[in-house]
Amino acid sequence: MIVAMDRNRGIGVGNQLPWRLSDDMKRFRELTMGHHLLVGRKTFESIGRPLPGRQMIVLTRDPSFRVEGCATAGSILEGMAIARSRDETELFIGGGGEIYRQALNIADRIYLTLVETEVEADAFFPEMSNEAWVEIDSIHHPADENHQYSFTFKTLVRKT
């Protein structure tokens, strides 16, 4: 999974990211480039197009929903099967909140950007047990002229 969230697990407001952090967008691009990216329909619509260099899978309950250049799936497991059938080594789950909730128990890695703020969010990352995850990497970025908030990149892996 790959997610940016605030201190209260807020990830979005009005189907948009509540911040613009260029280094976070760069990290997202670098990590997901060349991989499959599974997102919910609303998240896909907020992006507005297939992302270059990624094979996108849109999760939707509507079997007639089609997007040129993207696969569609009716469940997380179906999306995983699509990626696996294409020899994917690391499927990225890119939200939104309900998709993260469905995928949290099967994910084995989380690329997290913890944004040091609290926003009036209407979409949230699910609560997760700290006992289930171990942090293997952490890089802090202070606020500056290009970043309204300070933030920390963290990589979490599921404990075995």
Q: What is the pLDDT of residue 24?
A: 98
Cβ atoms within 10 Å, residue 71? 18
Q: What is the arithmetic mean of pLDDT over 41-52?
A: 95
Question: What's the whole-model pTM score?
Answer: 0.95
**Measured distance CA(84)–CA(78) in Å, rounded:** 10
Among 26-30, 76-80, 127-131, where is mean pLDDT lowest? 127-131
Q: What is the pLDDT of residue 17?
A: 94
Query: What secondary structure does DSSP assign to 118-153, as a single string?
Result: ----SEEPPP--GGGEEEEEEEEE--BTTBSS-EEE
pLDDT at 73 over 90: yes
CATH architecture for residues 2-158: 3-Layer(aba) Sandwich (3.40)
